[in-house]
Amino acid sequence: MVEEDVLHARCAGLDISKRDAKCCVRVLPEGAKRPRLEHTTWGVSVAEVDKLRRHLEEADVTCVVMEATSTYWKPFVRHEAHCSIPRAAGADSGGGWWV
């Protein structure tokens, strides 16, 4: 069996705390050797979480990873959210969508 590394051309990482969510969107442009990184900070209100969702959709992000303290991740992972980024199988709470 040959293992291959998966390289996501458009992905994001979220670091969620009680006060805010830090986001890094990584985009590897076609033919480029180095990715473009964009760092932003978002609030944790419903309006801010929705803005973050739209930001990720507009960037055509296809994969999101998240780190959170305590249960502060819950507002960011909602079954009711309308986002085109499906959650990974086996993720906590089973199914649903990111942000």
- The 10s digit of each residue's pLDDT in 42-88 is 999 989 999 999 999 999 998 899 999 888 888 887 644 455 555 55
* Residue range 16-44, pLDDT digits in tens: 999 999 999 999 888 888 899 999 999 99
Q: Whole-model pTM above 0.85?
A: no
Q: By CB neighbour count within 10 A (0-12 exposed, 13-18 middle, 19+ buried), where does 7 fall?
A: exposed
Residue 98, token pair as written in the block: 């990111």
pLDDT of residue 11: 93
The domain limits of the chain are 10-98
d(CA 8, CA 11): 6
What integer is the mean pLDDT of 84-95? 49
CATH of 10-98, one of 2.30.29, 3.30.420, 3.30.2310, 3.10.450: 3.30.420
